[in-house]
Amino acid sequence: MTLNRSCTAALIASLVLPVAHAASLRVTLSNDLPTARASETVTIPWSEVNKALPGALIQRLAVKDAGGKPVPYQVTNVAPLAKDPQNVGAAYGELIFQHSFKAGEKSVTYTVETTDSVTPAFPVQAFARYVPERLDDFAWENDKLAHRTYGPALMAPAPPGSGKEVLQTSGLDLWFKRVPYPIVDRWYNKGHDHYHHDEGEGMDMYNVGKSRGAGGTGIWVNGTLHTSVNYAGWKVLANGPVRTVFELRYDAWDAAGTPVTEVKRFTVDAGHYLDQIDSTFEFKDKTSLTAAVGLNKTPSDKGEQPDIDVFRDTTDGTLLQWVKQKTKGEFGTAIILPGATEFTQDTLNHLVLAPVTSGKALRYYAGGAWNRSGDITSAAQWKAYVADAAKRARSPIKVSLQAQP
């Protein structure tokens, strides 16, 4: 998987435009690692596509591999309700598609071209939505894993006699999947109790409670973790089929006398067990604070009598767990916080620490995997997957563009 999810930063400025109208845009991807890299996400600014293919329409486009086979793609918007009255691509942000490098494959070429017919919609492999029907949950998923976190309605007091659930936490939940298709809507439609049982598609068996869950954050001050409560606002910026991007906003909380706010931006790509998360903390009168990213110490379902192994690696700021349960299988969770070398814990969480400055995003990666999904079935495989993901974060693929006559 790619952990530096946006290849735009690695884009080589080599777009060569002939005088005549280009017939296609040639995209060359370069890889420095010898190992296989599944589901690398490629992002190309739409402005570059438009230069090569003026007037291109996103529904009349084809992205083809070296053998001429069309692959799924996505075009994002610059902003909600952006307008493009002159049809120059001003409303569009990026063209997105994926390539899986084989071991030893150093370079590969794709072409982007216009089509006469409308391109059919591609299967959705990444998705997120606000869930008002379940007390303001916010849920997201790809073809590998699903998640949710909790909104204002869940922490509101329960009216007398209502039986309403009340939970105050900014921890991140995991829903383990056994199928590649979207399940968030299906599971919510089944009813709250059903998704706590595996009926063939997977289940919600991860415990969050007051902990950080699988990748929640806080501010660490003098040996104490100070955390926000449930998210206060949300915004979806892109929603599949290949990539989903959304933000969650957390209102100010007190970190030992310092008010802190946070906006978390999630980048969720198809084919990945770890999401990219960019947390931006805002605070005053401090040069920096220490952020903590955590994993719940007791993440298994009730009555599962778990055997939990915890691994830490200062090379990549990696913190991971492998949890063996009595009846519901085994699962792993992980955080990669590049550059972090300090680990600690409190009563509820294992934590990895890093300094943050106000207004500057802290990038990390978090997620999990269940052995019953069939892909990752042991602690050794999970450790290898996470270590490989960290290597890929350090060595993003490179993208070069050339217009073809």
**All structural domains of the chain with their residue ranges:** 7-78+87-120+394-404, 126-373
Predicted pLDDT of residue 15? 40
Predicted pLDDT of residue 84? 77
CA 347 to CA 252: how far, in whole Å?
A: 23
Give start and end residues of each alpha helix (H) in 251-375.
none
Predicted pLDDT of residue 14? 39
| Structural fold of domain 7-78+87-120+394-404 | Immunoglobulin-like (2.60.40)
CATH of span 126-373: 2.70.98
Predicted pLDDT of residue 80? 64
pLDDT tens figures, 342-357: 999 999 999 999 999 9
Predicted pLDDT of residue 10? 45
CA 368 to CA 387: how far, in whole Å?
A: 14
Strands 398-404, 11-12: pairing kind: parallel
Q: What angle do CA 35, 40, 43 make, to 5 degrees?
A: 145
Radius of gyration of the chain (CA): 22
CA 230 to CA 154: how far, in whole Å?
A: 8
CA 361 to CA 356: how far, in whole Å?
A: 8
Predicted pLDDT of residue 78? 79
**Residue 173 near residue 184 (C-beta atoms within 8 A):** no
Predicted pLDDT of residue 91? 82
Residues of the chain where predicted confidence (pLDDT) is lower than 70: 1-22, 80-81, 87-89, 192
DSSP class of residue 123 equals: P
In a 13 Å sphere around the CA of 302, the CA atoms on its Cβ side amount to 3
Nearest to 332 by CA among 387, 292, 290: 387
Q: What is the pTM of this model?
A: 0.94
Residue written as tokens 């052995």? 371
